Structure 1
Amino acid sequence: MRPRSRTRLCHRLRSHPAGKGARRSMGERDFIALIDGVHQLVRAPIVLVRDRLNTHVSRRMRALVAERAWLMVFLLPAFSPDLNPVEWLWAHIKRSLANLAVMALDRRETLVRNHLKRLQYQPHTLDGFIAGTGLTLDTPTSP
């Protein structure tokens, strides 16, 4: 979000092979690559608010963040999904995919990608996810 600009959704959907010992989530390098990509897109400093997922708060991630002077990170309080707009976004997407559990994984991945792509062009819906948290981007005005 940027004050007085439309809200944008930048995402990277990754699928990981199933199997014992295989990573089933994004790692630090995946997250920082996404953040670097967003920085190149917006060409502005980034304030990142994130939850306390272990890869978000790891020593390695803290080192990667420290290398980027344009990146400021704030952590949400523990156990506060109600403050995380991403939780609202996934709830929105999951509602539309609820009856598709038996569908092949690659087909579900395509549907999720399509839903995310459509949300990129719905700034009012994205604003609603943020408003649902109670967090705002209101900036004080001068008297």
Structure 2
Amino acid sequence: MTPPQARTWSQRGRTPVVRVRGRSRRRVSIAALTCYKPGRRSRLIYRPRRDDGRRDGRMSFSWRDYRDLLIAAHQQLGGPIVIIRDHLDVRKAADLREWAAAQDWLTIHHLPPYAPDLNPVEGIWSLLRRGWLSNVAFSTPEHLVQRIRRGLRHIQYRSHPIDGCLAETGLTIRPA
């Protein structure tokens, strides 16, 4: 819950100070999909997960959480999905691979290892960190989750930032 730092302006001689109460061991994880289709507006589908200390000792997403996100995306988009994803360990879990292989509506391709510059979702995280999460001292984990949701909702309802994140990777969408 330590806030990222960003530059700001203030009156001369009055340096702004953001007080941070203390560090928390609690964690918030977010999984997101940027969705592109030629001739349609870009979409962002995301799920935050707050570590509440109750779920099998896991502080981040499990393969079931990613499966549920993919199912929700399939229902929202209403068609087959091609996923191009990075090499996060949980996404390579055997159970998730088996489940994905059984789905006829899902095709998965992998980005090369250590290539975050090819992942448009990294651009979303950058927008969120530089805008909605910078220079804010979060008092509670709920405050952090609320701010994350507000920032992602702001990005989600405007397709231009999502398109910009794809353009920044140098990748393009090719009609089927």
Q: Which amino acid aligns with 1:28?
A: W
TM-score (norm 1): 0.90
Aligned to 2:52: 17
CA contact (8 A) 1:10 1:38 kept: yes
Q: CA deviation at 1:102?
A: 4.5
Gaps of 5+ in 1: none
Q: How does 1:103-142 map to 2 (within 5 A)?
A: 103-139=139-175
Gaps of 5+ in 2: 1-35
Q: CA deviation at 1:16?
A: 1.2
Aligned to 2:30: none
Aligned to 2:74: 39
TM-score (norm 2): 0.74
Superimposed CA distance per residue, residues 31-67 of structure 1 (whole angstroms, 9 cap, x where no aligned partner):
0101001101111100001110111112111101011
CA contact (8 A) 1:100 1:108 kept: no
SS at match of 1:14: strand
Q: CA deviation at 1:139?
A: 3.3
Report the structure number with the largest CA radius of gyration: 2
Q: Percent identity?
A: 35
Higher helix share: 1
Higher strand share: 2
Aligned to 1:29: 64
CA distance in 1, matches of 2:138, 2:65: 28
CA contact (8 A) 2:138 2:144 kept: no
Q: Which amino acid aligns with 1:22?
A: G
CA distance in 1, matches of 2:173, 2:135: 36
Q: Which amino acid aligns with 1:106?
A: E
SS at match of 1:13: strand
Coordinate RMSD, CA, aligned = 1.7
Please list every run of at least 4 consecutive aligned residues from structure 1 whose deviation after the TM superposition is greater than 6 angstroms. Answer: none
Aligned to 1:87: 122
